Amino acid sequence: MPASTAPQTAPEGAPAKSRGADTRALTQVLFAQLKEVPQGSPEHSRLRGALIEANLPLVRYAAARFRSRNEPMEDVVQVGTIGLINAIDRFDPDRGVQFPTFAMPTVVGEIKRYFRDNVRTVHVPRRLHELWVQVNSATEDLTTAFGRSPTTAEIAERLRITEEEVLTCIEAGRSYHATSLEAAQEGDGMPGLLDRLGYEDPELDGVEHRDLVRHLLVQLPEREQRILLLRYYNNLTQSQISAELGVSQMHVSRLLARSFARLRSANRIDA
């Protein structure tokens, strides 16, 4: 690349903002030159490699978001670099989008795909992982030799470890694959986990109605509220309510009818 067209990158000790601006400027120049050379030519390969190298800090930044996954950072960066290369090959500088903005979703998506497809769902200690590999290999060998699945004792004897260690390794091996919540439980004939997370409470249908009744009741005069509570929550008859309040049974009946009319009217308004 001619020296006159290549922006000088900031020195290592320069502020990150300055280095980022220089990287963006260099990236723009490289893409402009890449567009002018034939694809597959040595110059195209050289410019493409320069773009990859210039934008590796973007990959490291994206990979740092996955530090808590207990995977070697070199592996995560390598996977993210694949996403960077894909982004470089698909980027069109004429669309007016900054390359980091375009590339970041592709890099992060590639890393997430890696964790989804290749990484254990539960982190397993290295020693247990290595022992699991041996147990898996011994199981295959013994299956071939016996014409059947070996027992835990046979695997333990082959590897000169305890049966408890074999069982622990088999359990650890299951962390390599996530089981669907809808999958039936192997061997027990039980429904999938999703079907056993809970049950439909028949009382749930009444929650909304009870809340509505509570909302409407507070709009009634205090005496009418009390009459309704005595009638439908304490299960008193109209004559018992009249004796409780010191009014006639006919008056209690009229108050109940008026309360129902108000509740129906308020319900229509709220609806």
The per-residue pLDDT for range 39-93, each reduced to its tens digit, is 889 999 999 999 999 999 999 999 988 887 777 888 889 999 999 999 999 898 8
pLDDT classification of 176: cutoffs 50, 70, 90: low
Q: What tens digit of pLDDT does each residue of 179-202 get?
A: 554 455 444 455 544 454 444 555
CATH of the domain at 231: 1.10.10.10
Angle at 24 between CA 19 and CA 30, to 5 degrees: 120
CB 47 within 8 A of CB 37: yes
Q: In Å, how far from its chain's centre is CA 64?
A: 18
Q: Do 173 and 213 fall into the same domain?
A: no
d(CA 247, CA 239): 9
CATH of the domain at 29: 1.20.120.1810
pLDDT of residue 11: 47
Q: Determine the pLDDT at residue 6.
A: 42
Q: What is the pLDDT of residue 154?
A: 92
Q: How many CB atoms lie within 10 A of CB 81?
A: 19
Number of domains in the chain: 3
> What is the average pLDDT across 220-238?
85
pLDDT tens digits, one per residue of 130-174: 787 788 888 888 888 888 888 999 999 999 999 888 888 877 766
Question: What's the pLDDT score for residue 78?
Answer: 92
* 182 assigned to some structural domain: no
- pLDDT at residue 212, as a whole number: 61
Q: How many helices (H) and strands (E) does the chain have?
A: 12, 0
Model confidence band, residue 4 (pLDDT cutoffs 50, 70, 90): very low
Query: Does residue 5 sit within a domain?
Result: no
pLDDT for residue 219 is more than 80: no
- pLDDT digit string (tens) for 106-119? 999 888 888 776 65
219 and 158 both lie in a single domain: no
**Do 249 and 238 form a contact (C-beta atoms < 8 A)?**
yes
For 73-82, 206-215, 255-264, which range has the lowest pLDDT when averaged over its residues?
206-215
Token pair belonging to 98: 């900054």
H or E segment to which residue 171 belongs: helix 163-173
Confidence bin at 209 (pLDDT 50/70/90):
low
For 174, phi and psi rounded to 5 degrees?
Answer: -70, -15
What is the extent of the structural domain holding 130? Answer: 122-177
Pair (114, 20) in one structural domain: yes
Q: Examine the domain organization and report whether 54 and 38 are in the same domain.
A: yes
Q: Which of 118, 133, 165 is the last residue of a domain?
A: 118
Residue carrying the six token digits 């375009």:
102
CA 75 centroid distance within chain = 22
The C-alpha atoms of residue 213 and residue 218 are separated, in whole angstroms, by 9
pLDDT confidence band for 215 (50 / 70 / 90):
low
Where among 177, 198, 222 does a domain terminate? 177
